[in-house]
Chain A
Amino acid sequence: MYLARVIGRVVASTMYPGLTGVALQWIQPLDERGAPVSPGSGDALVACAVVGTGPGDLVSFVDGREAALACPETFVPVDASILGYVEQAVSNGQFIGRETGARP
């Protein structure tokens, strides 16, 4: 699982049948300092948003086959899912994700 920032929303009305109603959001993976992972290895991707996250939120996500297990229907072609909204994360004694996008 990794940390990421939600940066956008995707609308797709034609989806694989088991995925209808699942929200899709662009996420930018973050490194241990809370900065975007360098382009190439950590490009933005689209993930299923199964919890109520929105643009600006700090989130954790899982990639690979396990991502489908977070969806309402688990036999679906999904390789990234947002698992939760992160209130606060600490890495190397540094707090990350307290400022921008924090909910009131």
Chain B
Amino acid sequence: MLIGKVVGSVVATHKDEKLENRKLLVVQVHDQNNKPKDQYVVAIDSVGAGNEDMVLYATGSSARQTTLTENRPCDAVIMAIVDSWDLGGSNVYEKWV
């Protein structure tokens, strides 16, 4: 899994019918030091994430292992909302500050 920040959402009215009623979010990937990368993914949300949330997303065939995405054309799914993380004993990100 990788960590990223939700920076936007995607609205698509004309799409594969298997993707109907699925929330699509734009996630900008961050590295372990919380530095934004020039890398974005569109992921289906399975946990109720919102704008500016730091989230964890899974990619590849693993992304289909949720009730929301099973047997659907999806290769990225948001599966957790990150509260905090530390690296080498020092806190890098804290949601509630």
The interface of chain A, by Cβ under 8 A from chain B, is 7-16, 19, 24, 26, 43-47, 55, 64-65, 67-68, 75-80
Contacts and interface: CB of A to CB of B under 8 A. Distances in A.
A77 B48 CA distance: 15
A7 B83 contact: no
Majority-rule SS of B interface residues: mixed
B6 interface: no
A43 B39 CA distance: 13
B25 to A, nearest CB: 14
Highest count of chain A CB atoms <10 Å: which of B31, B61, B62, B84: B62
B1 A7 contact: no
21 contacts: A8-B88, A10-B56, A10-B82, A12-B80, A12-B81, A24-B56, A26-B85, A26-B87, A44-B31, A45-B1, A46-B2, A55-B89, A68-B62, A75-B65, A76-B79, A77-B62, A77-B66, A77-B69, A78-B1, A78-B79, A79-B62
Interface string B1-41: 11100000000000000000000000000011000000000
A64 B85 contact: no
Interface residues of B, number: 32
A10 B85 contact: yes
Contacts of B65: 65, 68, 75-78
Nearest to A16: B79
A49 B65 CA distance: 18
Contacts of B83: 11-13
A8 B47 contact: no
A53 to B, nearest CB: 15
Interface in B51-69: 56, 58-66, 69
Contact of B46 (A8, A16, A44): A16
Nearest to A56: B88
